[in-house]
Amino acid sequence: MATTVHEQPKLKPSREPGKWQPDLGGGGRIPVPADGPMRSLKDFSEPPASTAMWVLIAAIVMSFAAFTSALVVRQGGAPDWRHLTLPPILFLNTVVILLSSVSLEITRRQIGIRMSARSVRSGKPALWLGATAFLGSLFIAGQYAAWLQLRAQGLYMSTSPNSSFFYLFTVLHALHVLGGMIGLLYVGVKLERMTLRRSTLTAMCRYWHFIGILWLYLLYILWARI
Amino acid sequence: MHDVHAPAAHHGPPTTFISKHVFSLDHKVIGKQYYAMALVAAFIGMFLSWAMRIHLAWTNAAIPGLQILSPNGAPGGVMTPEYYLQILTMHGTMMVFFVLTTAPFAAFGNYFLPIQVGAEDMPFPHFNMMSFWVTFVAFLTLCAAFFVPQGPPLSGWTAYAPLSAIGPVAGPGEGTGQILWAASIGLFCIGQLLGSLNFISTTLDLRAKGMSLMRLPLSAWAWFITSCIGLTAFAVLLPGCILLILDHVAGTSFFIPGGLVLNDQLQSAHSGGSTLLWQHLFWFFGHPEVYIAIVPAMGIVSHVLITNMRRPMLSHRALLYSMIAIGFLSYVVYGHHMFVSGMNPFSALVFSFPTLVITIPATIITLIWLGSLYGSQLRINSASLFALGFVSMFISGGISGFFLAQPSLDILLHATYFVVGHFHLVMGVAAMFGIYAGTYFWFPKMFGRMMNETWGKVHFWMSFVGAYCIFMPFHYLGIAANVRRYSAFVDDYLQPLIPVHKFITIAALFTGFAQMIFLFNFLHSLWFGEKASDNPWEGTSLEWSTKTPVPWNNFDTIPVVYHDPYQYGVESSTGDYVMQASPEQVKTLHDEA
């Protein structure tokens, strides 16, 4: 019977000269000694809320990218594209939503100071959080006023592709702002109960700033294309 | 690795029947719920395919019970051509969304991803619960289409505009039925987005100590890759469904062009819409969807094969990187579904090239499977047989993909049964075999009992032979120019092919009967199967480290991971393998030589 010669485990030089370590390829044949190096071992990872928020933002970006490409395709070669004048209140709404981002940042700073236990009574984060929610409501009310203005001009969802896309973009964005306000409510409840996590607050702030930036993008699209 | 500030499970053990079995936050229960829903959907889909096959072979035959489902669509049990298309639509939708997406990805992924990474649960259990229930409502919404006056839509699972957007004038089911379809798929997208959110953050943030990314089992990697694909794909289909519904209910014209004449009626209410727009939005999702079905099956099959070969794959990393490459490439090939849609021919070239390129990682994966199997002493059981069957189906179905990737050939074959044979083998049957491999493999861990191996093998051989008897002749039919989507073959040139259709129908009934055997085995084993040990297959990954049945928080103590995922062929106190969570220091059998 022929003798089978087995290969010895391959070794590769480590970064330190003169010291050899086994090649720990994933799923490879070379076992990791129980007391051996624990690759990528670290005691901290991103909080899931942070990762999840990036994932959510990625999904929303993809959705609005799809809507934008729909607008571009629909506009190209269509004989029924009629530009409409944007209601001026949209620009006021833009200021409102940007201000809400500022007030949320102030909220975050004040909560941060409380969490660091420098001063439990410092600032009024609940007040600033409320201000943010108020500005969010004001933004939605402003959008509603814009819809009423278009309606007064006889421009409905089905009137033209421009009005269709206008309502589509603004309504969907307003729904995202509403979702953000539910998030603000959640943060407020957690804040009252003293159970708010820093990761939750960070994720919430990230979302709120994102819908502000999303609005700037949509406003540009509406202004340039519709 | 755990974030010390954020424990993995935010909920305690369930206390009531409702919180334990219905609105459960436990990822394992949610996984089982997904599996049960997929099982029901699979059998509905299968019965629909039986009805279609019987009608194709014996066009005037009455199918018992069909007239009850739809007195108008199937008077006396004989289906009308329109009702054939309605059943075809529901078969495709049911199978692609509620079976091939939910079973390998949502069901097994929910159950095993947190366990395989060493977590107590998903990071957002409420979102996870919502994910299932939204999907379940989507399933009910789709089923409701059977019971509205005009029945389900007839525009196919791809719902091509303008027929899908214009309303009842396009045919039976194109009113309410089509709206229900779009609402169902939109809800399904939301459900899967919530699921992807949990899968991604579980994999990235909740891994146990020592579980580096490269130490994740291939199945966990597959679910992670799939959730990344799903995140972007479903986020694009959802806008498509919203626009489709608006065309129906809000009088918009996103997809409906002007001057459209349907059934001698000018559709004057609409103008300027783009029919190609729907196809772009749909196929940007639709092609990645193929990989949403097949990548988890690839991961499951690799996991099952390695455990039964008792040695790792030839190259763990090459297989993994190839799966990732497939994930990336899946977005840039979608246009190959639209070669005959009137796109610019240069666009066809642009999409044809990456379509051929994507065969490279697919081939690498296949060669790794075959090379690893070569010379291995594979343990033959139902799970490993189905895993082998998957490889076989993937190759058989994949080879015809080479032909279809070329626009010049696809133009001829696109509307024929060649394409039907191709996608059923490579996506449908292959993914189903992956689901079965996973079922036989993980059933002991999920339900605490073993499935009957004899009946499992009978199920495999009947399904394997039956599936080839159904889908291989489809290629022949396609080359003979047998058009698809026809409900009856009355043209002279199609008449000689009817015996082939009869053979296929008999094979379909035979294969369907095999699935009844599976169902019986499944249900019987739930209550009467032999009790399973904690690690019946002598596996190494973390799901085999924990007890059977798995406790509500998965592990009595959170494991620490010391080893790569597939340490077989070693000498240890347990045998020829060492578990990931075992601190035992071992050496390979090769060291002995």
- State the DSSP string of A165-222: HHHHHHHHHHHHHHHHHHHHHHHHHHHHTT---HHHHHHHHHHHHHHHHHHHHHHHHH
Mean pLDDT of B171-193: 96
Q: Is the pLDDT of residue B125 over 60?
A: yes
CATH of the domain at B302: 1.20.210.10
At A119, the pLDDT band (50, 70, 90 cuts) reads low
The average pLDDT across B491-519 equals 95
Express each pLDDT in B24-45 by its tens digit.
999 999 999 999 999 999 999 9
Q: For residue B209, is it within any domain?
A: yes
Task: Determine what percent of chain B falls in helix, strand and coil, rounding each to the nearest 5.
Answer: 65, 5, 30
CB contact under 8 Å between B254 and A60, yes or no, is: no
| Distance (Å, whole) CA A55 – CA A127 | 30
Residue A33: pLDDT over 80: no
Handedness of CA A99, A105, A109, A111 (dihedral sign): positive
Look-up: residue for tokens 């395919």? B49
**Contact check, Cβ <8 Å, A26/B214:** yes
Beta bridge partners of residue A20, listed in sequence order: A13
Residue B417 sits in which domain range? 24-256+273-578
Are the C-beta atoms of B381 and B456 separated by less than 8 Å?
A: yes
Cβ separation of A157 and B588 shorter than 8 Å? no
Distance, in Å, from the CA atom of A28 to the CA atom of A168, rounded to the nearest integer, reads 53
Checking if the pLDDT of A120 tops 80, the result is: no
Cβ under 8 Å to A: B residues 41-60: none
Number of structural domains chain B divides into:
1
- Tell whether B278 is covered by a domain: yes
Judge whether B265 lies within some domain: no
CB contact under 8 A, B565 and A55: no
Q: Is the per-residue pLDDT at B585 higher than 90?
A: no
- Residues B405-422 have a mean pLDDT of 92
CA-based radius of gyration for chain B: 24
Query: Nearest-CA distance from B54 to chain A in Å?
Result: 41
pLDDT band at A31 (very low <50, low <70, confident <90, very high): very low
pLDDT band at B589 (very low <50, low <70, confident <90, very high): low
Poorest-pLDDT segment among B161-165, B187-191, B219-223 = B161-165
Q: Contacts of residue A27 in chain B, CB cutoff 8 Å?
A: 218, 306, 312-313, 316-317, 564-566
Segments in chain A forming alpha helices (H): 48-75, 89-115, 125-152, 161-192, 198-225
The nearest alpha carbon in chain A to B212 belongs to A40
**Is A24 in Cβ contact with B3 (below 8 Å)?**
no
pLDDT tens digit sequence for B214-239: 999 999 999 999 999 999 999 999 99
| pLDDT the model gives residue A48 | 86
Is the Cα dihedral B521, B526, B529, B533 positive or negative?
positive
* Lowest mean pLDDT segment, chosen from A61-75, A127-141, A191-205, B457-471: A191-205
* In-domain check, residue B305: yes
B363 touches chain A (CB under 8 A): no
Measured CA to CA in angstroms, residue B16 lies from B20, B130, B134, B137 at distances of 6, 19, 22, 23
Candidates A43, A63, A162, A169, partner chain B, best to mutate (most B CBs within 10 A): A63
Greater pLDDT, A119 or B171: B171
pLDDT tens digits, residue range B371-383?
Answer: 999 999 999 999 9
pLDDT interval class at B446 (50, 70, 90)? very high
Q: How far is B42 from chain A (nearest CA, A)?
A: 29
With beta carbons less than 8 A apart as the criterion, state whether A119 and A62 touch.
Answer: no
- The mean pLDDT of A151-167, rounded to a whole number, is 92
Contact B207 A46 (CB under 8 A): no
Per the DSSP assignment, residues forming a β-bridge with B265 are B262
Among B149, B122, B157, B128, which Cα is nearest to B41's? B157
Inter-axis angle of helices A89-115 and A198-225, to 10 degrees? 170
Rounded to an integer, what distance in angstroms lies between the CA atom of residue B577 and that of residue B571?
7
DSSP assignment string, B424-485 = IIIIIIHHHHHHHHHHHHHHHHHHSBPPPHHHHHHHHHHHHHHHHHHHHHHHHHHHTT-BSS
Quick check: B259 contacting A, CB < 8 Å?
no
Half-sphere exposure of residue A31: CA atoms within 13 angstroms, side-chain side: 28
A38 contacts B590? CB cut-off 8 A: no
Q: Find the range with the poorest average confidence among B6-15, B85-94, B180-189, B254-263.
A: B6-15
Residues in A closer than 8 angstroms to B198, CB to CB, are 52
Q: How confident is the model at residue A195 (pLDDT cuts 50, 70, 90)?
A: confident
- Domain assignment present for residue B18? The answer is no
Task: Name the residue facing A27 among B236, B272, B312 (closest C-beta).
Answer: B312
Q: Nearest chain B residue to A50 by CA: give it.
A: B201
Confidence at A118, pLDDT banded by 50, 70, 90: low
Residues of B in contact with A63 (CB under 8 A): 235-236, 238-239
B256 to chain A, closest Cα gap in Å: 10
* B205 CB within 8 Å of a chain A CB: yes
Confidence of residue B448 (pLDDT cuts 50, 70, 90): very high
Q: At what angle do helices A161-192 and B218-249 cross, to 10 degrees?
A: 130
CB–CB of B315/B372 below 8 Å? Answer: no
Beta strand B568-572 with B587-588 is antiparallel
Mean pLDDT of B88-107: 96
Higher pLDDT, B466 or B18: B466
CB–CB contact B272 A60 (8 Å): no
- C-alpha angle B512/B513/B516, rounded to 5°? 95
Average pLDDT, chain B: 92
Least Cα separation, residue B18 to chain A (angstroms): 25
pLDDT at B342: 78
The reply to whether B1 falls in a domain is: no
Instruction: Look at A93-107, B255-269, B481-495 and tell me which has the smallest mean pLDDT.
Output: B255-269
Mean pLDDT of B312-317: 93
Task: Tell me which chain A residues have a C-beta less than 8 angstroms from the C-beta of B251.
Answer: 157-158
User: Residue B163 falls within a domain, yes or no?
Assistant: yes
Closest CB to A31 among B123, B284, B588: B588
Three-class DSSP category at B262: strand
Q: Please state, in angstroms and rounded to a whole number, the distance separating the CA atoms of residues B168 and B175.
A: 4
Residues of chain A above pLDDT 70, percent: 76
Q: What is the pLDDT of residue B450?
A: 97
Task: For B238, name the nearest residue in chain A, comparing CA atoms only.
Answer: A63
Give kind and range of the element (H or E) at residue B577: strand B575-577
The answer to whether the CB atoms of B316 and A74 lie below 8 A apart is: no
Residue B590 lies in a domain: no
Q: How many CB pairs under 8 A join A and B?
A: 199
- Provide the pLDDT for residue B84: 96
